[in-house]
Amino acid sequence: MKKLIVWGAIVALSFSSIYAQRVAIKTNVLGWLACGTANVGIDYHIGKHFAAGADFYANPFMFGDDRSAQHLNITLSGSYYFCEAFHGSYIGLHALHACYDAGLGTYNYDGHLNGVGLHYGFVLPLSRHWRLDLMAGVGYAQCCYDLEARQYHKGDHEMLRHHDANCWGITRLQAAIAYQF
């Protein structure tokens, strides 16, 4: 049994080394700086000029009694690189979904959004494995949220109204540090 496990590990590692340059893991520095949002992304090279990616953002924290920016976000993307994947300029499509509970002062916004957009980016190599990925995207987002009034002495929220909004604008902004395996 031990021989089978060892041989299986050797075979798996040999195949993973063939495809090692196809995967990159990244974190968006702007997400950390803007509101302390933990985030991680993965990009996968699927052709000479194409890559697919997924980014996950989560912020479960409150910033005091009157401020919060709690949210969970997933963004899926596909990119076309003009030179080759993970090098130089690229364009692409992205789709996102987010749930949020954010507030400032006496009002709280509890809802979700769905969106799609186009993005443009540029990859700057920092070393053999490290790179800086700069990207901006514009598109459409549909936001559905409940506007609530905070009642601090009771510790709960009173719903004022439900609101649906359709927005055009910036849907993605990224300055990511990535490690390419």
CATH of 22-180, one of 2.40.160.20, 3.30.450.20, 3.30.420.10, 3.50.4.10: 2.40.160.20
Residue 75 clears pLDDT 90, i.e. is over it = yes
pLDDT in tens, 12-55: 444 444 455 689 999 999 988 877 889 999 999 998 999 999 99
Q: Please, which residues bridge with residue 111 across strands?
A: 100, 145
How do residues 147-170 score in pLDDT, each as one tens digit? 887 665 555 667 678 889 999 999
Give the per-residue pLDDT at 163. Answer: 84
Residues facing residue 108 across a β-bridge: 103, 148
Q: Cβ contacts of residue 84 below 8 Å, gap of 6+?
A: 48, 49
pTM of the model: 0.79
Written in H, E and C, the secondary structure of 69-95 is EEEEEEEEEEEEECCECCEEEEEEEEE
Closest CA to 108 of 70, 59, 141: 70
Per-residue b or e along 147-175, where b marks 16 or more CB atoms closer than 10 Å to that residue's CB: bbebeeeeeebeeeeeeeeeeeeebbebe
SS3 at position 37? coil
pLDDT of the residue at 152: 53
Residue 2 has pLDDT above 80, yes or no: no
**CA dist list (Å): 2 to 5, 7, 8, 9, 12:** 5, 9, 10, 11, 15
Answer positive or negative: Cα dihedral of 114, 117, 122, 123: positive
Residue at 44: amino acid letter: Y
Which of 83-87, 120-124, 156-160 has the highest mean predicted lDDT (pLDDT)?
120-124
